[in-house]
Chains A and B, each alone.
Chain A
Amino acid sequence: MNAPPIIQTRSLAKTYLIGDVRVAALEDVTLAVAEGRFMAVTGASGSGKSTLLNLLGGLDTPSAGTIEVDGALVSAMNREALARYRRFGAGMIFQSFNLVPARTALENVELPLVFSNVDKKERKRRAAELLEKVGLAHRANHRPSQLSGGEQQRVAVARALANGPRLLLADEPTGNLDSRTSREIVGLLAELNRGRRLTVVMVSHEESLVREYAHDVVRLRDGRIVGTESRA
């Protein structure tokens, strides 16, 4: 880990109020991710993996602690700055793909470019290019319902990269996929990580995939880091 960290969290905590009960989803998480690394976050369900990823992705705000991404203090951003950070700073993919069902694959990939004011022609060109990169050029005009799970996740990956972020966050990207397709998708992420110097943080509980592709593994239990491993 000789490169400077692109992500640095310090004493990160997130508590939810469920009824009158305060539930800690994350406690005292201090974590650094070096640029260009592929990090896996593992842990049992309810261990706070997704909460951590939502905080890193700027979808949620921490109860305490700080998040710094690429020199910017994400934890102190207002709503508008967070939207801008989600637009340019970090691309996200999800277990349930989260494509817009009424829009074609190409239009889904275009979506982030719409919010960054790219004109229509340029948008189409870039989206088509990204779809080709994930191997779906021939499915550009299909709707999500006409695509397989693996194909949908590839569209989601292309969409996450649309505005050229340096960070890709994947929340259980293989949770809805069979093992062969899962391997393909994680393989795609690893390829992007290698080829584009894209930093990847992936939440997963599939040990075999994690062991095969991740440089760093962070283990969470009950909202706390209980172990980290790294390999060169």
Chain B
Amino acid sequence: MRFTDAVEFALASLRKRRLRTLLTASGVMIGIGALVSMISFGKGMQKNVTEAFKASDLFTTLMVMPGGADVPSRDPARPRRPAETAGRAGAVLDDAAVAEISQIPGVRTAYPDVSFPALIALEGEEEFRLVQVVPAAVAASNAVRVGWGRAYASDDEEGVVVSRSLARRLGTDEPAAAVGKTLRITSVSIDLGELASLDLAGLFSGKGLPVAREVYDFPIVGVTEITAFGGGPSPVQNDVIIPPGTARRIKRLPITSIWDLFRLRDGRLGYSAASVKLGSLRDLEPVKSRVREMGFTTFALADQFDEITKAFYFMDMILAAVGMIAIVVAALGIVNTMVMSILERFREIGVMKAVGAGDGDIRRIFFFESGTIGLLGGAAGCVLGWAVSLVINRVVNFYMARQGMPDIDYFAFPFWIFLGAVGFSLLVSLVSGIYPARRAARVDPVIALRHD
């Protein structure tokens, strides 16, 4: 029997039982649709996270932390034990160290992670926030996504950049309208004049701390976008960023918390961390080893990326497993339909055998039937999976937009998903056809022809 004849026979038989063919193919469609949307969701998440990381220069950013007591243990088997590590000699991460790091070949900029608590006010609305000091070069890079206005041009410019969510919380819904407005930053400093006459007993008798409030006004030059996946270990994640030269003129406490005092080495405080921007990923290893030689601890996201990739494979597998449940049900549907078809066409199979059909011919006809159901269901499943993803994406983005989140494609559809889905559907349908096809081929023509 020729290939085209087998296809024709299969199609004729499927057309004759149109409703059942449609229902069985719908089962396959739902299974493949579920699988397609599950996998495309997994791929979408992976793509979004990877791209967000790449776009925010996280892969070419190295975190540097002082050695010794402040090294957070990333090994759960060996929890941090300050008493043991505090005595170890660790380098102090001060301006000199940061300057030295920035001289290492391959380093584009190195800057300390400095932030201080302040009261932020915009047109009367106020909120406590950490203000982060970020060099102009970094503020102008991909690490900071300025969506409206601009980043400050120099390290000494009198201007700040705020996040869209802060602007919103402080009553300016339209981010473009926030540009040019004046942001009031109130910091806290120790009044040195009063410090001399500080009577510790007085603290508790209502005399008050020798603390002064310092008020500064800066124009908002830019507003940052909210990025959906930009959180995480981004080097810049505060709502207010300010250039270092300008920050230096703000009178404030040199610490953000009492815990910082525990990091003192010979009276020197140093920074809790510094960010190092690299020219390219190739520079990561040499820079890392140089910085470690200086006595610092490093953390690079690129080192963690293998783990992240593994986590995504795991997620893909779980999503695929959920989709597989529907596929198994669909496969049983095909087996059921084909076995029913044998019973109905028992006599016809006998007739075909009587006029010379071989076992292989009968098998082929039934295989082509189940394969056609698989192809139809697979193709329709691709469309269904894609359509459902589109709808979910729309709905999610609609609600996310209310939160001020930008539109994101939560699903990714690389071409191989569709090819793979149709191929897989065909494979499943052919496997489902094995038993019915063999059973049909084994029909005894003498019995079949006697059958009514």
Contact = CB atoms under 8 A, between A and B. Distances in A.
Contact of A111 (B16, B347, B352, B358): B352
A83 B348 contact: no
B307 interface: no
B19 to A, nearest CB: 16
A100 B13 CA distance: 12
A114 B9 CA distance: 10
Nearest to B358: A83
A59 B446 CA distance: 6
A98 B356 contact: no
B138 interface: no
Nearest to A102: B16
A15 B354 CA distance: 21
Contacts of A59: 353-354, 445-446, 449
A154 interface: no
A30 interface: no
B354 to A, nearest CB: 6
A79 interface: yes
A195 B110 CA distance: 105
Given A114-B1, A114-B5, A115-B352, A94 B358 contact: no
A117 interface: yes
Interface residues of B, number: 24
A59 B361 CA distance: 16
Given A59-B446, A94-B449, A115-B1, A87 B355 contact: yes
Contact of B356 (A54, A60, A84, A120): A84
A166 interface: no
Contacts of B1: 114-115, 117
B383 interface: no
A80 interface: yes
Contacts of A86: 353-356
B351 interface: yes
Interface string B410-452: 0000000000000000000000000000000000011001000
A102 B359 CA distance: 22
B361 A115 contact: yes
A210 B175 CA distance: 104
Contacts of B350: 98
Nearest to A171: B449
Contacts of B16: 102
Q: Which of A57, A79, A98, A112 has the most CB atoms of chain B within a 10 A radius of its CB?
A: A98
Nearest to B355: A112
A86 B2 CA distance: 18
Interface in B1-35: 1-2, 4-5, 9, 12, 16
Contacts of A38: none
Given A100-B348, A102-B12, A102-B16, A159 B355 contact: yes
Nearest to B445: A59
Nearest to A86: B356
Contacts of A83: 353, 356-359, 361
- The interface centre, meaning the residue of B1, B5, B354, B356 with most chain A CB atoms within 10 A of its CB, is B356
A163 interface: yes
A98 B351 contact: yes
Interface string A71-102: 00000000110011011100010101011101
B359 A117 contact: no
Given A59-B445, A60-B446, A114-B1, A100 B359 contact: no
A117 B2 contact: yes
Given A114-B5, A117-B1, A80 B359 contact: yes
Contacts of B356: 83-84, 86-88, 112, 115-116, 163
B62 to A, nearest CB: 70
Interface in A142-197: 159-160, 162-163
Contacts of A100: 348, 351-352
Contact of B354 (A79, A92, A119): A92
A44 B340 CA distance: 37
A92 B449 CA distance: 12
B451 to A, nearest CB: 10
25 contacts: A54-B446, A59-B353, A59-B354, A60-B446, A79-B358, A79-B359, A80-B358, A83-B356, A83-B357, A83-B361, A84-B358, A87-B355, A96-B449, A98-B347, A98-B350, A98-B354, A98-B449, A99-B351, A100-B351, A102-B16, A111-B351, A111-B355, A114-B2, A117-B2, A162-B355
Shortest Cβ-Cβ A-B pairs, 6 listed = A87-B356, A83-B358, A112-B355, A86-B356, A115-B356, A115-B357
Given A83-B359, A94-B449, 10 more contacts: A59-B445, A59-B449, A84-B358, A87-B355, A98-B347, A100-B348, A115-B358, A117-B2, A159-B355, A163-B356
Interface of A: 54, 57, 59-60, 79-80, 83-84, 86-88, 92, 94, 96, 98-100, 102, 111-112, 114-117, 119-120, 159-160, 162-163
Interface of B: 1-2, 4-5, 9, 12, 16, 347-348, 350-361, 445-446, 449
